[in-house]
Structures are given as structure tokens and as C-alpha cells.
Amino acid sequence: MDDTLSVLARADAIQLKSFAETLIPDLGEIEVLQSQSGLVMLPMRDTAKGVAFHLGEVLMSEAHIRKGEVQGYGMRRGHDLEASMAMALVDLAMATDVRRADCKAFCNAQAEALQQADEDVLRRVEATRVNMETF
Amino acid sequence: MAYVATRGGERAIEQSERLFREEMGGFDRDRVEEVKKSLPYLIDRVMGEASLYDEDLAALALAQTGGELYEAVLLLRAWRTTQPRLQVAAPIEQDTLFTHRRISAAFKDIPGGQVLGPTLDYAHRILATDVLQGAPYAPEPVEPATNPSPAYQPSVSAWQAENDLIDPPTNDPTKGNDIPDLTREPLLFPSKRAHTLQSLARAETGGVLALGYAAMRGYGQAHPTVNELRLAEAEIAVTHPDGRQFSAGRVKVSQAEVVDKKGEKLGIGYAATFGWNEVKCIAAATLDLNSPGAEKGSATEEEFFLYHTEGVESSGFCIHFKLPHYVTFQSSLDAMRDAKAKKAGQSKSSDMEPAE
């Protein structure tokens, strides 16, 4: 899995939008190929027989943009076309070397925040571990 | 069934809908947000039965229908048909689940240990009536552990397979649009396993519980032991147009395996659904465990439980009976009167003396 895209897909929507907005002047002319919401079907593997089956669909927002031959893409959960477009702008900026260091710093900061949030959840989960005693 | 074209009642129909909506009152974005925040397990149940994952839409459907669950699920199922399908994600694999709760009733010392996660399993069920007297309820805060729990937990059934207790599954390579999909093709019997599990994933919780409970009480062939129960978050693994795969976010999922002795090994039943809904998964996995060789027409026979746990179809069929059936009912009355008249005629003729 691509870590940068995975981070952008879960990054804080407000921070992502405000950062992506600053990239627009540097990116220049961009062609928007797609900006829409729709459904992604999510399959799951059955652990009894190994069969993949559809669990159901998830509402997602998608943005697909292009600058010359280079593509930028964003897909995030829920209906937020601005956020998916912001993700696509950051992806395109990184792919075209536009303010790459800033993009990387943004992604690193978001990754750290997400990791911290996960760790907080897992420390709370760990508090519920059962230490069995037999007698 | 017969139908007749009728006129009239337009005003009554319009006013009846107005009465329903007026009694419920208006709602706005704040109401939807409040429903979403305060009723996460109900939101999960609705998303699972609607087979559509989005907390905002589920909360909206609940606010719009005043919590009439069948109507809420129907609204969501209808809405999803208006949306384009963007992609089919990669199948969720159990070892990639970000796990919040993982327990086993079969083995005490499972690999990875038992993690209770959020549950009321061991809580006293006491109604917080003080709240109605004005005392707000504030839960005791969790005391987090120093070290985090592992995000990914090993599989109990894989460990059992290593110990020759169950036959390990062979992973089916089918993916993407090749995975059988009930939303695009009919359910036929004997059902494809992918259809069975998809149907159970979107089944109505109460229906699954009723039939699963029947099997648990002895109207089935196998008694379930929960091998593994897991509440987790799953990554939505999608593909960038340039081919890179990434996670486009997470969704809550529940998964249950139940086992029973079957010859020299364990038989295993499985179910999963969107959201955190343990009762549905355990009951559905029990039906899956019981279905091989089930008697035709029994609660654990696949055709029986798949048809009867489809919430939109079953509730729709049930409520259609309250719509006008004047012609069919009149026809029944006519047949009844005719039979009565014939019976009366027969007894009159038998009382008469034979004609000379």
C-alpha cells in the first residue's frame, strides 16, 4: 500500500484543504477529469472457506486531475468533494515536484497525528486485555 | 392476486403523510449530527442492513423516518441505486483488521490473548433513571495501558488449522467485479457462498437472530461455540489510476466464527457485517454452521433463512397486506358464500322424498 496516499485519504479534512489551496498557484493550469461522489464495493475474505464476498458499499468522494501527462488522484470516505480534490492536488504536486518538501512535511505531520490517534485507541483497548487465572 | 383501478383518496393520502411528518417534527443538520453522535450502534445496524456505509446518510435516514428502521434501511437501499460504483476494493483480509475487540469462548489462551474492547457483556443492566431527575450521566474514564495493544491480531482458526483441528481454507483468487454480487444478480439456489455471506451481511438483525436462536435452541444440527469474535476497523484498499494501491479510509466491521464438533475435526461457520453488531454475526455464523445438510424448509436451510432474513423484501411483503385487497377478498367471500349455498342446497335436497 502507498503510505503517502493512505495518509492523505485519512488526513484532517480542514488542514488538507487549507494546505492544498496554497499549492494551486504553483501548480498552474490543471485539467479536472473527474470530481464526484459514488460507491466503492468492499469485499471481505471468509475465514471458514476462503471465499471473497461483498460486505457492502461505502460512500466515497473521488477527484482525478491531470497536468500534462501526470495524474493526481484523491479518494476519501464520505461526501466531501473539496477534500478529495485537495488530496488530488497534493498528489499531483508531489508527482510534478511542486513544493515537494512542503508536501512531504504536511504528510509527515498528518501521519504522525494519525499514528498518535491509533496509539491512543490501542492503549485504551489494551486496558481491556484479560489476564486469565486458572484455579 | 388481483388488482382493480380505483380513484379517490388523494387528499387523504397526502394529509396522512403530512400527519406522519408533522407529528415527527422538522429536522436539520444538527439533528442528524446528534443522531450520529449519540446512537453509534443503531447507525452501525442501519448501515449493515442497508449495505451502505456512511454514518451521515444513516443518521439522516433515521432522522427522516423518526427511527422507523425498515423505512430508514429502505431509503438507504433506494438511494444507493442512484449512485455510480467507482471501484471494487481489494478484499479485506482478517490479518489486516485494526482490532478493537477479539475474544474466543472456545480457548482461553488464544494467540494474541483475549481483548474485551468496548462491551457491556459483564455490566449490570441498570437503567440510569437519575438522568430523568436532572442528574447528567458521566461515564468513568478508561485508564489507558502504558503500552498499546497490537493493532493486528492473529487468527484463531489459522492456529487451529496448524493444530489439525480444522481444515484450513484455500483462498479463492476471485476479485473485483468477478466476485458474485447480489445487487446485480439474483439469489439462486443452491446459493454461491459469496451470495450467502453477502446476503447475511445485509440481513435484518432481528430475523437472523430469530432463526439463529432457533438453531441454538436445538432446531439445528450443530451447537455453536464462538471460536472468535472480532470488532475492528478495515482498510478500504483502492487503486490510483497509475496502479498504486492505497487505503482510502477505514470502516467498522464485525466478524464471527462459530465451531462445532464434526467427525474428527471442527466444523466452522462464518459471518461478517458492516458496523459493530455482534448478535447478528454470531446468529448468522450459527446459520452458516448449520446449513450443510439442513432439512428442506427448516430454519437452518439456506433457502429458508436467506429469503426470510432479507429485511427490505420481508418488511415490504408484510406491509403490502394492509394495502387494498378488495377484489381478492371479495373473491374469497364469493367462494365462501357459494360453498355455503351449495352445502345448504345439498342438505335441502337430501331432506326431500325421492321423486316418484
pLDDT digits (tens, 9 = 90+) for B277-314: 999 999 999 999 999 999 999 999 999 999 999 999 99
CB A58 to CB B53 under 8 A? Answer: yes
Eight-class DSSP state of A123: H
Percent of chain B past pLDDT 70, that is, above it, reads 96
Average pLDDT (A32-37) is 98
Smallest CA–CA separation between A40 and chain B, in Å? 5
**Domain architecture of chain A: domains with CATH:** 3-122 (3.30.390)
CB B86 to CB A44 under 8 A? Answer: no
Note if the bond before B190 is cis, omega within 30 degrees: yes
- Tell me the C-alpha to C-alpha distance, in Å, between residue A44 and each of B71, B96, B227: 27, 11, 19
Smallest CA–CA separation between A72 and chain B, in Å? 9
Looking at residue A133, its pLDDT comes to 73
- Using a CB–CB cutoff of 8 Å, tell me whether A83 touches chain B: no
CB interface of A with B, residues 88-107, below 8 Å? 91
Q: Which residue, chain included where needed, has cell 452501525?
A: B44
Asked if residues B267 and B258 have their Cβ atoms less than 8 Å apart, the reply is no
Average pLDDT (A96-106) is 97
Pick A57's closest partner by Cβ from B80, B175, B244.
Answer: B80
CB A50 to CB B171 under 8 A? Answer: yes
- A38 three-state secondary structure: strand
Dist. CA B30–CA B1, nearest whole Å: 45
Smallest CA–CA separation between B127 and chain A, in Å? 24
Smallest CA–CA separation between A23 and chain B, in Å? 21
Tell me the HSE value of B266 on the side-chain side, using a 13 A CA sphere.
27
How do the domains of chain B map onto residue ranges?
11-80, 99-118+147-231+253-315
| Residue A124 grid coordinates | 485504551
Instruction: Tell which of A12, A128, A130, A134 to mutate to test the B interface (max B CBs under 10 Å).
Output: A128
Pick A73's closest partner by Cβ from B114, B194, B240.
Answer: B240
Pick A128's closest partner by Cβ from B116, B194, B241.
Answer: B116
Is the dihedral angle over the CA atoms B291, B292, B297, B302 positive or is it negative? positive
Smallest CA–CA separation between B322 and chain A, in Å? 31
Pick A126's closest partner by Cβ from B148, B169, B171.
Answer: B148
| CB neighbours of residue B182 within 10 Å | 22
Nearest chain B residue (CA) to A124: B144
Looking at residue A69, its pLDDT comes to 94
Chain A environment of B199 (Cβ under 8 Å): none
Least confident piece of the model among B23-32, B140-149, B310-319, B339-348: B339-348
Reported ipTM: the value is 0.96
CB A77 to CB B249 under 8 A? Answer: yes
Chain B environment of A55 (Cβ under 8 Å): 51, 92, 198, 201, 253, 272-274
Dist. CA B333–CA B342, nearest whole Å: 14
Q: Which residue, chain included where needed, has cell 466452522?
A: B268
Looking at residue B356, its pLDDT comes to 45
Pick B272's closest partner by Cβ from A44, A77, A123.
Answer: A44
A-B contacts at Cβ under 8 angstroms: 254
Chain segment B219-257, per-residue pLDDT in tens: 988 889 999 999 999 999 999 999 999 999 999 999 999
Asked if residues B314 and B308 have their Cβ atoms less than 8 Å apart, the reply is yes
Looking at residue B329, its pLDDT comes to 87
- Using a CB–CB cutoff of 8 Å, tell me whether A47 touches chain B: yes
CB B54 to CB A127 under 8 A? Answer: no
Eight-class DSSP state of B333: H
Residue B154 reports pLDDT greater than 50? yes
Smallest CA–CA separation between B217 and chain A, in Å? 23
Chain segment B29-53, per-residue pLDDT in tens: 999 999 999 999 999 999 999 999 9
Residue B315 reports pLDDT greater than 70? yes
Residue B198 reports pLDDT greater than 50? yes
Chain segment B92-131, per-residue pLDDT in tens: 999 999 999 999 999 888 999 999 999 999 999 999 999 9
The percent helix, strand, coil of chain A (3-state, each to 5) is 50, 30, 20
| CB neighbours of residue B219 within 10 Å | 14
Percent of chain B past pLDDT 90, that is, above it, reads 82
Looking at residue B113, its pLDDT comes to 93
Looking at residue B221, its pLDDT comes to 87
**Through-space distance between the first and last CA atoms of chain B, rounded to whole angstroms:** 48
Average pLDDT (B166-186) is 93
**Through-space distance between the first and last CA atoms of chain A, rounded to whole angstroms:** 46
Strands (E) located in chain B:
52-53, 85-88, 98-103, 225-239, 245-262, 265-274
Chain segment B61-96, per-residue pLDDT in tens: 999 999 999 999 999 999 999 999 999 999 999 999
Averaged confidence pLDDT in chain B: 93
